[in-house]
Structure 1
Amino acid sequence: MSAPTSPGPAAARHGWAQALVAVLCGLAAMGVVATLGLWAAGAADLPGGAFPRVVAATVVTAVGGTVDLSGDAGGLAGTEGGLAVIPLSVTLTGALVVGWCFLRPLRHRAVAGAPELAGWAARTAALWLLALLGLALAARYSFEISLGDGPLGDLGELFGFRPVVGFSADVPLTLLIGLLWLAGVLVVALTVSPVAPLPAGLLRPRASARPAARAMVRLLLAAVAVALVVALVAAATRGHPVETFAVILLGLPNVAWLALTVGLGATWDGRVEGPFGLPMPHVLDEVLRTPGVSELNLGALVERDGGAWWWLLVGDAVLLLAVAFVAALSPPEVRVWRHAVRMAVALALTVLMICLMARVSARVGLSVLGIGDLGEGLSGEVLLEPRLGSALGLALLWGLVTGFAGASAARAVRRRGAAGR
């Protein structure tokens, strides 16, 4: 009878301590990015103790939570507001850190049973929900708005009222969507990782899905990297570095992934009104600042700002061909048509994710005795919605074409390498 072996690295488990590290590190990273971005945007000048509350609200929205706006201006005045925008720089940071911390303790495992895997996820989810609950409860604040020296200010002094606006997180919805966000992060992490353990029955499906899934992760990160270089060059050469860094730390993927879909031919409907606007490049604001809803697509950008915007089309083609080629080199080799179909499905799902997460809907309004509204600089609206059907159809077409071309090129390289041996 052989002596029992002592547990080594291969027997490493993912317990409560590892789950706690993943949750705390993810939220800490998101909090740091949100704090720096909001500071660069000028939110540190908010009255009272609003800044930490705004940071909490930003992290809540970054995981898909909902923050409701409210106001009270007395019986002679009215307020209205709504906000639906995700700071995707904060979201991306959290996803990368949580995914990495979740996978790190498992790097020495090869196979895990379904109950064990469910236990790992359940522990992480339980701690995640507790942390989100604390953030959602902290993400609430109210403060007064100055009416200024114009007619609204005179009316405020005459009738003796001070408008108060505030925000608060929708706790149940935040917990629900935040849990779905975590589930998505863990599923993607387990899918793209070459070493993460899964039940034996899921190893083969993951091997089939991993090349296309990793290709989409590379595509999204490459788009953000290109946008980061452009933003840094703009900050160095065109001024306004603080404002540019605010965009980088809060919404760079919003801009990068919007540009990615526009380069594919997608159309977004939008409107910009009042003192608010969309982040760089400013041509986005110019295209959408019209009396009605406008179209944002490649044609509109070229018409407004010249032919340089055709580089979005070229850049998308180069990135997609590159990631499709690299994915097709991953063993085992698959048929060209099958790789093309997988790339098409993966790209369509990626564009769907972008369309759901990069939408913008924001409106703040104040009126006194029926006047005031948008002309006084206290109100505004920003709207950006995708045309989902056409965007998904174009994504499928691009995925098929670039997937077929990338797989064909990879097959030629494989054959040339085999012939050279």
Structure 2
Amino acid sequence: MQQPTTGAAGPPGAVRGWLDALAVVLAGMVAMAAVAALGLWLAGAADLPGGGFPSVVAAALALAVGGSVQLDGGAGNFAAVDAGISAMPLSVSVVGAVVMAEVFLRQLRFRAVAGGGELLGRIARTVVLWVLALVLLTLAARHSFVVPLGGGLAESIGGALGLTPEVGFHADGLSTIGIGLAWMLVVLAATFAVSRRAPLPPALVRYQLAVRPAAFALWMVLLAYLALGVVAGVLTAIVNGNARQTMAVVLLVLPDLVWMAFGIGLGADWQGRLSGALGLPVPKPLADVLRVPKGQTATVDLGTLAEQDARSWWLLPLAAVVLFAAAFLAARRSPRTVRLWRHAVRFALSAAVTMLLVGLWTRMDAEYGLSVLGVGLDQGGLGDLLGSVLGDSNPVAGLGGGSITLHLSLWTAVPLAAGWGLVTGGLGALLATRVQHRGEVDDGGAAGQAAEDGWSGR
């Protein structure tokens, strides 16, 4: 009698694949939630009435993956809140992306190549669970509460007239799920483009030399600016004594500021304007430039920032030095036989893509206000009441009127970054000819050619 087989290669393998994908998604969500919760707590969002702090954290996560949050409510038929926020707290985004990439790569460690079908299967399972997590996140990112009017008589009169103010917020499902899915795909693509530990299908191994050294070097540029920003934040907290708010900035929007500084140092400019209170401290020169008369648009670049603070000119040499160091790093991680002009072109393309992503990530649109019987109120009334009750740093504070918009001029910034990349890429490659390259055994041409033909990037 034939015995049934017990070695189940299908179900256990399939279950493990789903568990691996679940680990990636959970690790990312937990890391993002921890950073967002701490940052929002430091910013004062824990004081939200009605125990809405978990919903605020969920809303911050929705924003971190590219979604938007709508604010609504009002006072019966007399007043209505008209508000919306679309801005990425990039500190939360970066932590989530790094954690998910690390967990994803650890599941593929000790492998130089992997089958295309296996990789697509892993990516597909991760994406499915990620979309499910985004759906749950959208459901969790909603909260509403009644704002007290300040006294028993006022409460009674307000209730009789139907003026009990109620404010709420909710994550927009379409943008959170749609853009959040694109965000995950970009994270996975960047993981394979940057990391030498990411195994590729055999057919793609030959292309890694054209992508990974330059992509990794530009990732180091972004990390270098983050490190400089952390140092600046710590010094600011010590000197100015506003440690709580400064650390809230570091934990929520530090990359938004320092990566803007990188682009501005290269000559790029952001267009935007600011009215009302921001709620979190930002560099004073930036805030001063953005505050322009109603109906006008401010240009944030080296010139306008330097008008407010002459030290802003240091952004130019800083960007040049950091980019040149990255170009040298990219050339050193490549075989010596790669021609100088190829280094320059590859680095230019990587710099252009990096600036494009920085522009998309640092976009900011937030408009908030109150309308009474269809007439807008810029100040006073319920808006001031909300500000006094919730505090200026609360995510729903300042609904009396205000807005901030900030967009990178991509049509000029991307070509500028490519030009910088072309020049620094060539100079970095020229300097790298004098040092040993990764994978070289000796200075002979045969060793260099062998590295060109068979280097695996590990």
The TM-score, its normalising length taken from structure 2, stands at 0.83
1:274–1:374 CA contact under 8 A, matched in 2 = no
Secondary structure at the aligned position of 1:375 is classed as coil
Counterpart CA distance in 2 for 1:348 and 1:188 is 15
| 1:131 matched to 2:153 | no
What secondary structure sits across from 1:80 in the alignment?
Answer: strand
Specify the code of the residue in structure 1 equivalent to 2:321.
V
**Deviations for 1:213-246, whole angstroms, at most 9, x for unmatched residues?**
1011111111111111001111011111100010
Counterpart among 323, 327, 333 of residue 324 in structure 1: 327
1:404 aligns with 2:444: no
Note the alpha carbon deviations across 1:138-183, whole angstroms, 9 max, x for none. Answer: 011112345679xx99995884412322221222432222221111
Matched-pair contact (CA < 8 Å) for 1:278–1:284: no
Q: Give the one of 335, 342, 352 matched to 2:339.
A: 335
Q: Closer, same or farther in 2 for the Cα pair 1:379/1:153, shift >3 Å? A: farther
Classify the secondary structure of the residue corresponding to 2:144: strand
CA contact (8 A) 1:340 1:399 kept: yes
Equivalent residue of 2:434, what SS?
helix
Q: Decide whether aligned partners of structure 1 residues 154 and 251 sit closer, same or farther in structure 2, where only a CA change above 3 A counts.
A: farther
Shift of 1:370: 6.1
Conserved? CA contact 1:264–1:313, under 8 Å: yes
2:34 is matched with which residue?
Answer: 32
189, 192, 199: which is aligned to 2:191? 189
Q: Secondary structure of the equivalent of 1:47?
A: coil
Mapped partners of 1:28, 1:114: distance in 2: 29
Q: How many Å apart are 1:314 and its aligned residue?
A: 1.0
Q: Deviation per CA, 1:351-388: give whole Å up to 9, x if none.
A: 11111110111111113356672222422111111111
Residue range with higher mean Cα deviation, 241-250 or 368-377: 368-377
AA in 2 matched with 1:251: V
Aligned counterparts, 1:63-82, within 5 A:
63-82=65-84
Contact persistence 1:277–1:285 (CA under 8 A): no
Quick one: percent identity of the two aligned structures?
48
After TM superposition, give the deviation of residue 80 of structure 1 in Å.
Answer: 1.1
- 8 Å CA contact 1:360–1:383 kept in 2: the answer is yes
Look up the match of 1:8. Answer: none
Distance 1:224 1:147 in 2: 43
Distance 1:238 1:154 in 2: 44
TM-score normalised to structure 1 length: 0.90
1:7 paired residue number: none
How far residue 331 of structure 1 moved from its aligned partner, in angstroms, is 3.0
Give the root-mean-square deviation of aligned CA atoms: 2.4
| 1:180-206 deviations in Å (ceiling 9; x for gaps) | 111111111122221322110111112
* Partner-residue secondary structure (3-state), 1:197: coil
Rate the CA distance shift 1:271–1:277 in 2: closer, same or farther, 3 A. Answer: farther
Counterpart AA for 1:316 = A
Corresponding residue number in structure 1 for 2:389:
none
Other-structure match for 1:386:
408
Partner of 2:62: 60
Query: For the residues of structure 2 that align with 1:179 and 1:60, how far apart are their CA atoms?
Result: 11
Aligned to 1:3: none
Matches of 2:175 and 2:100 in 1, distance apart? 21
Contact 1:65–1:174 (CA<8 Å) still a contact in 2?
yes
CA distance in 2: counterparts of 1:411 and 1:155, whole angstroms: 80
Corresponding residue to 2:266 among 250, 264, 276: 264
**Gaps (5+ residues) in structure 2?**
1-12, 385-399, 445-458
Alignment-mate amino acid for residue 30 of structure 1: M
CA distance in 1, matches of 2:232, 2:137: 33
